Amino acid sequence: MWTKDGKTYTGGGIIVDGMWHSTPTPEMFTIAGWEWVEPPAPEPEPKRYSKLKVIRALGENWAAKKAELEAAGLLDQFMAAQYLAEDDPAFAAVLATLTEAEREALTGCEYDD
């Protein structure tokens, strides 16, 4: 992205040597004092998990996890959710309690739109 004096170019053209250019070239930006800076990498989207795939992946361990959700008052939310998102506060709290084996079981449980 092109920057100059702490501002980012957002389009519309620039003035180079007193003339307006609506479609400036990289050379024109440089002449006008703009500097190319690599834009920051976008934040990755939070993972979303399919409830059915999670239940199947946990297998016989699902009963214990279901009891934990019920004891924490989260079972109704689990059942009502379209999917489980890792940025959801309730699900993030549950994720924090998973063992390494349980976390590995979530591999491949991503929600498909």
pLDDT, tens digit (0-9, with 9 covering 90-100), for 76-91: 999 999 999 999 988 8
Give me the residues of the chain with pLDDT under 70, please: none
pLDDT at residue 90, as a whole number: 86
pLDDT at residue 76, as a whole number: 94
pLDDT at residue 103, as a whole number: 86
pLDDT at residue 95, as a whole number: 84
**How far apart are the C-alpha atoms of 99 and 109, rounded to whole Å?**
16
Residue 55 has, within 13 A of its CA and on its CB side, a CA count of 11
Structure-block tokens of residue 21: 């250019």
Structure-block tokens of residue 56: 């199947």
Nearest to 99 by CA among 68, 72, 77, 75: 68
**How far apart are the C-alpha atoms of 98 and 81, rounded to whole Å?**
19
pLDDT at residue 1, as a whole number: 94
- Three-state secondary structure call for residue 110: strand
**How far apart are the C-alpha atoms of 49 and 57, rounded to whole Å?**
11
